[in-house]
Structure 1
Amino acid sequence: MPPRRRLSAVDRGRALSWIHDGVCMREVARRLAVSHSVIQRLRDRFETTGRAEERPRPGRPRITSRQDDRFVCLAALRNRSLTSNDLRGQLRMAANVRVSDQMIRNRLHEASLHSRRPAVRTPLTQAHRRARVEWCRRHLRWTRQQWSRVLFTDESCFTLSHPDGRVRVWGRQGERFIDGTVQERNRYGGGSVMVWGGFHLQGRTPLHLAHGILTGVHYRNEILQPIAIPVLRAMGVRSTLQDDNATPHRACIVTNFLGQQGVQRMQWPANSPDLAPIEHLLDVRGRRVRDNHPLPEMWLSLVSYSCRNG
């Protein structure tokens, strides 16, 4: 192992103390596992300046100026999806400065800009945004009693192989494709089950396994009439059904059926799954029961988790 060429502040103090006590420099270098020249420079520097710290070193001069660094940062902030190669090209065209991709990344890191996986959200138009704001203002001052009369419902598709981007692996260079660092995923999802459920402040509905494509007729006959309506009746006369704007939910036969049953339905803004608490509940439940079981076992796992946690 080659000798070190740098000394820590503690080792510098120890070395100077030993030299003051008469220990030769080669013995001091041997004790600290450094080269003789390191101890000699330390002694000469202390005798000349009276200080043991190393003088600041200028390092390699920066190729980019402060103005160039600001240009790179502003270009990245204006278009967050630009790559370091794109930014390098823009800097070369604007200031005739040729740098490497790594230097571009270094300048962005100095400005606290780091590469991240982009967050995903539903596309929203201005009309969507206005509807969301109006819905939030309408329900901003709702009391706990008012929310207790709302039955939140939704369907969710649970797949055996779900690319949720949460899986990470540890690996060294050159180990990208070894078995331990590769996640197997079926190209077509490996099968799935469609589950409907609902909950309110005092309880929940049983889970319903939807077979085939969910239509308005199936939604009325298999979900609303046998499951949702009895729960709404038990909640009280002023209970409210919350479901999203999916095509089966807004079919005419469903709307007419709810009107005949006297069920009050909450108006829901389009493209707003994040506002429904059941969406977050189903997401958590799906991640906890997804253990790459066969489909019947996944259904049993969902039912078991629902019975334990509600």
Structure 2
Amino acid sequence: MAKTRNYTKAERIRIQVLHEEGLSCRQIARRVRKSPAGVAALLQKLRQTSSVRDRRRTGRPRVTTARDDRILCRMSLRDRKKTAVKLHQEWTNGGAVTASVRTTCRRLLDHGLRSCKARKKPLIKPDQKRKRLAWAHRHKNGLKDSGTVCYGLTNPVSS
């Protein structure tokens, strides 16, 4: 597992200044409250590149721009109940953005937002439940006589 050594710009400059004062890696690490290995790696980068700035990262370039991400966030905030699929369709409709639904979800998560999942529809609606129960109460005596059982109600009626 790789170790992450993410330092802020202020921490990088402070480490550089402490190194120029003649402190060792361990002493610097204690003062900055970071690991000695991380400080050593930063100082090695300083020796190689004579700069403590972050190097350009390798990897796949982003499909969307910061502007596209802001547009997506505004769309999500406008209607909080939209699913990721609906947001994706609306976002990519113009043709400017060509991203997947998964990318849409990731961009929302990056900005602290969540896309909603479509709610599973109930097997029977509350209105239908009420009607079935009323029917069962009306036909309670008829069901007892015939010997059939009516399920799906709050109280099954049987003979």
- Comparing both structures, which one devotes a greater share of its residues to strand? 1
**Larger relative contact order (CA 8 Å, sep ≥ 6):** 1
Bigger radius of gyration:
1
Which band: TM-score by shorter chain?
0.3 to 0.5
1 or 2, which has the higher helix percentage? 2
- State the TM-score, normalized to the length of structure 1: 0.24
- TM (normalized to structure 2)? 0.41
